[in-house]
Chain A
């Protein structure tokens, strides 16, 4: 009985989307995964046909269906290019949720999601120990701050760049309020997990830049993971709990503060996913919508709320090296933020900003995707790194810590000497 109800709900949720697909095949041209393996099942059209077969009861929830549905980065390029307006991401998410409901999550993911969900302190502890352990298990690689594995480890490719986990997470390093010298306004800062545990320098850059511009920064200690890893895996229970917590933690004092993030997936979650999670609870839904309206990517906040002229006035030393920009999928297609980071980079690099080819093509990261589908992810990455290399830039900026991990991995593999920075880090270096 329970199985049937799940499937009915699936049809109810996405039946309309499935019907919209005209089967024209245009998604075959832009899907980065399809480009690497040329099998229809990996194109959006194939995934829709299979999901339709599941919805109609023609296809059971097979292992193969599970694997196919999970072989999607959710880069949204098919959604952007679909003239029939099919929200392919909605279909993939609903199908993954159905699969989790009926088959459960694989054990490693179950443990990780539980950690994200419950044990903030526990996670901090694990990471603290982890940061010691990692020196035993991984050897440092020169040129980057990453590590390569010393011994073969399950799931992890030996050649892979592994980001260093910090001993002391960013949020433990700062007070809950960091006041500007002459404060004019305040913002709430949602750090995201990568900034907190891997790249605290991005967090420091956010605080430095905002303080310098006369903006005080509030960093609520109770904030937790945005839930993106659980959401993309279809683990809705975890996402809902995390979302409820974050909504409570980030909306306070009459909701007068903007919420800024240096994390593209986090911003995408707040703006587009959270408001859809609480269809049955009007009160939380309206709060989720408030959070969505207050949410600003850091580059968006700086350009729209502070202004380029003002920022230009604070630039002390511009970059002279060639700098290029990689569009994170969830910033560009997910939130429509394409021009803002470029405007910022142009004022801090002057003439030395260059566009790479296919700047908005996915880098193949997609959070867990890159780990689970190493070979395809690596091929997509290789094309991205070639674009960066051909642009002759010495610095590549981007707006997503997940992309930063991936780009560093690719640069490492090709043994190139190119710096990878978050846009706000680049700005902090010049201010």
Chain B
């Protein structure tokens, strides 16, 4: 409970403008992109690391839950204050503190919007690869907490591969520093990676040292359509088998193509069974050759049409289309159960086939799209608000997860566990491992105040 005196102390710490508790403001910080909601008691916007530390000390003393939040664009309820308490919004931490062009690093605050970091470093000829579909509004802090992936993960990996060091306020209020600016650094435990992907349950990131790469000289995008998802999936495995690693290799099934075309009207082939969106980057001379080899694999898998993007405008439209798929699906049905399963990439054709069978079995529309190149498929089980259909949808999710496990996959590739996948975590993680994770949580957060109710069943 945030009592009157705690409220006054909090206002003293952050200032009146940075503490909100009207019912209207509380409603506006009760949800994230899962559409799940739970009202917080207050919303607080710290501006400095010492404020974060003071707030945590207070919250720890009075056992008030604290839920860190960036843009609230997460897909598993990480920023939903499911046990009440305070939402701590990191929007005031919005500065890019340093772009170190000598060491190829950036030091940023967590509230920086991912795509604005892209724009800034690219002006200096540098490159920050992680590019979650929400990058235009999501922030770096949220990306680190969820270990966000993105489309370029096929070639460049995910957020964890770019975090070199962190400043973190742990639940008891101490400010700790992990990692450094050094490329090689084996001093002590690798705590940086403990916090990356911890879903805001172990600490609040207040500063991050990020690794940058030189900006690739050129890129080329190819689209190929197929009559079925199966052929598209075979093409993906075929490309990897040929030892080609594109920057991105995304696919859209027929439902996603139609939903997004309905929004953007850019002439996507609404009669195709599947669309592959493949980008290669690198040396201008070499990528032409890669594109030709990819084209050959598409042809051998009976592609209906193969095109390369003509200009920057067409390119931007294609990627905007891809990024818009997820929200555009709500036009088909009001309820969308969004899973982001991942399988070893050679198993993509198998999992697609299994999901199609599951959809038939439960008489449901299941939409698949996503990162074919890294095995990460966004499976969207659609439903109306009808109870019978909702029950079938939930059974379908169980079946999908079981299928994933059979293929040595994992139930989440990049969205995290949060509250929506809590009950399934034991499918992937054995008891002793989960128990160790609980002990780590308990050590760092003895009173279970930081983002309680997440990850663990």
Give chain A's interface residues, CB within 8 Å of chain B: 19-26, 28-29, 38-41, 46, 49-50, 53, 58-59, 62, 64-65, 68, 82-85
A29 & B136 in contact (Cβ 8 Å cutoff): yes
Contact of A85 with B137 at beta-carbon distance under 8 Å, contacts A22-B330, A23-B31, A64-B22 already known:
no
Identify B91's interface contact among A38, A62, A64, A83, CB under 8 A: A38
Closest residue of B by beta carbon distance from A58: B27
B24 & A59 in contact (Cβ 8 Å cutoff): yes
In the assembly, what is the distance between CA of A62 and CA of B71, in Å? Answer: 26
Contact of A22 with B334 at beta-carbon distance under 8 Å, contacts A41-B25, A68-B24 already known:
no
A20 & B137 in contact (Cβ 8 Å cutoff): no
Identify B327's interface contact among A19, A38, A40, A82, CB under 8 A: A82
In the assembly, what is the distance between CA of A25 and CA of B35, in Å? Answer: 11
Answer yes or no: B328 CB below 8 A from chain A CBs: yes
Could you list 5 further interchain pairs (A-B, Cβ under 8 angstroms) beyond the known A25-B71, A39-B25, A83-B323?
A22-B327, A24-B33, A26-B136, A84-B331, A85-B263
Q: Taking the nearest CB of chain A, how far is it from the CB of B191, in angstroms?
A: 30
Q: Which residues of B contact A19 (CB under 8 A)?
A: 330, 334
Q: Taking the nearest CB of chain B, how far is it from the CB of A41, in angstroms?
A: 5
Answer yes or no: B19 CB below 8 A from chain A CBs: no
Q: Which residues of A contact B25 (CB under 8 A)?
A: 39-41
A25 & B27 in contact (Cβ 8 Å cutoff): no
Closest residue of A by beta carbon distance from B75: A24
In the assembly, what is the distance between CA of A358 and CA of B327, in Å? Answer: 25
B 2-33 binary contact with A (CB < 8 Å = 1; else 0): 00000000000000000010111101111111
A40 & B326 in contact (Cβ 8 Å cutoff): no
In the assembly, what is the distance between CA of A59 and CA of B72, in Å? Answer: 21
Q: List 28 A-B contacts (CB under 8 A).
A: A19-B334, A20-B330, A20-B331, A22-B326, A23-B32, A24-B33, A24-B73, A24-B137, A24-B327, A25-B32, A25-B71, A25-B134, A26-B137, A26-B327, A28-B71, A39-B25, A40-B28, A50-B27, A53-B27, A59-B24, A59-B27, A62-B24, A83-B260, A83-B323, A83-B324, A83-B327, A84-B327, A84-B328
Closest residue of A by beta carbon distance from B94: A38
A25 & B24 in contact (Cβ 8 Å cutoff): no
Q: Taking the nearest CB of chain A, how far is it from the CB of B396, in angstroms?
A: 20
Closest residue of A by beta carbon distance from B260: A83
Q: Taking the nearest CB of chain A, how far is it from the CB of B221, in angstroms?
A: 20
Closest residue of A by beta carbon distance from B29: A40
In the assembly, what is the distance between CA of A410 and CA of B402, in Å? Answer: 61
Interface positions, chain B 29-78, Cβ under 8 Å from A, are 29-35, 37, 71-73
Q: Which residues of A contact B27 (CB under 8 A)?
A: 49-50, 53, 58-59
Q: Which residues of A contact B323 (CB under 8 A)?
A: 83
In the assembly, what is the distance between CA of A41 and CA of B32, in Å? Answer: 14
A84 & B330 in contact (Cβ 8 Å cutoff): yes
A22 & B28 in contact (Cβ 8 Å cutoff): no
Q: Taking the nearest CB of chain B, how far is it from the CB of A60, in angstroms?
A: 9
Answer yes or no: B295 CB below 8 A from chain A CBs: no
In the assembly, what is the distance between CA of A165 and CA of B36, in Å? Answer: 52
B33 & A50 in contact (Cβ 8 Å cutoff): no
Contact of A24 with B326 at beta-carbon distance under 8 Å, contacts A46-B28, A64-B22 already known:
yes
B28 & A49 in contact (Cβ 8 Å cutoff): yes
B23 & A59 in contact (Cβ 8 Å cutoff): yes
Answer yes or no: B355 CB below 8 A from chain A CBs: no
Contact of A23 with B35 at beta-carbon distance under 8 Å, contacts A41-B28, A64-B22, A83-B263 already known:
yes
In the assembly, what is the distance between CA of A113 and CA of B57, in Å? Answer: 55
Q: Which residues of B contact A29 (CB under 8 A)?
A: 113, 136-137
Q: Taking the nearest CB of chain A, how far is it from the CB of B100, in angstroms?
A: 27
Q: Which residues of A contact B152 (CB under 8 A)?
A: none
Contact of A23 with B33 at beta-carbon distance under 8 Å, contacts A29-B113, A40-B72, A83-B324 already known:
yes
Q: Taking the nearest CB of chain B, how far is it from the CB of A19, in angstroms?
A: 5
In the assembly, what is the distance between CA of A39 and CA of B334, in Å? Answer: 27
Answer yes or no: B415 CB below 8 A from chain A CBs: no
A26 & B24 in contact (Cβ 8 Å cutoff): no
Q: Taking the nearest CB of chain A, how far is it from the CB of B439, in angstroms?
A: 34
Answer yes or no: B255 CB below 8 A from chain A CBs: no
Answer yes or no: B336 CB below 8 A from chain A CBs: yes
In the assembly, what is the distance between CA of A65 and CA of B137, in Å? Answer: 25
In the assembly, what is the distance between CA of A28 and CA of B113, in Å? Answer: 11
Q: Which residues of A contact B334 (CB under 8 A)?
A: 19-20
Q: Which residues of B contact A49 (CB under 8 A)?
A: 27-28, 30-31, 37
Q: Taking the nearest CB of chain B, how far is it from the CB of A425, in angstroms?
A: 31
Q: Taking the nearest CB of chain A, how far is it from the CB of B302, in angstroms?
A: 31
In the assembly, what is the distance between CA of A29 and CA of B283, in Å? Answer: 33
Q: Taking the nearest CB of chain B, how far is it from the CB of A426, in angstroms?
A: 27
In the assembly, what is the distance between CA of A83 and CA of B260, in Å? Answer: 7
In the assembly, what is the distance between CA of A85 and CA of B326, in Å? Answer: 12
In the assembly, what is the distance between CA of A62 and CA of B27, in Å? Answer: 13
In the assembly, what is the distance between CA of A64 and CA of B24, in Å? Answer: 7
Q: Which residues of A contact B260 (CB under 8 A)?
A: 83
Q: Which residues of B contact A26 (CB under 8 A)?
A: 134, 136-137, 327
In the assembly, what is the distance between CA of A23 and CA of B32, in Å? Answer: 6
Contact of A41 with B336 at beta-carbon distance under 8 Å, contacts A22-B35, A25-B72, A25-B134 already known:
no
In the assembly, what is the distance between CA of A22 and CA of B72, in Å? Answer: 12
B327 & A65 in contact (Cβ 8 Å cutoff): no
In the assembly, what is the distance between CA of A84 and CA of B32, in Å? Answer: 15
In the assembly, what is the distance between CA of A82 and CA of B137, in Å? Answer: 13
In the assembly, what is the distance between CA of A5 and CA of B72, in Å? Answer: 34
In the assembly, what is the distance between CA of A82 and CA of B326, in Å? Answer: 11
What are the 8 closest A-B residue pairs judged by CB atoms, nearest first?
A83-B324, A40-B28, A22-B327, A46-B28, A83-B327, A25-B73, A83-B328, A84-B327
In the assembly, what is the distance between CA of A59 and CA of B28, in Å? Answer: 12
In the assembly, what is the distance between CA of A68 and CA of B29, in Å? Answer: 15
Closest residue of B by beta carbon distance from A60: B23
Q: Which residues of A contact B324 (CB under 8 A)?
A: 83
Q: Taking the nearest CB of chain A, how far is it from the CB of B284, in angstroms?
A: 28
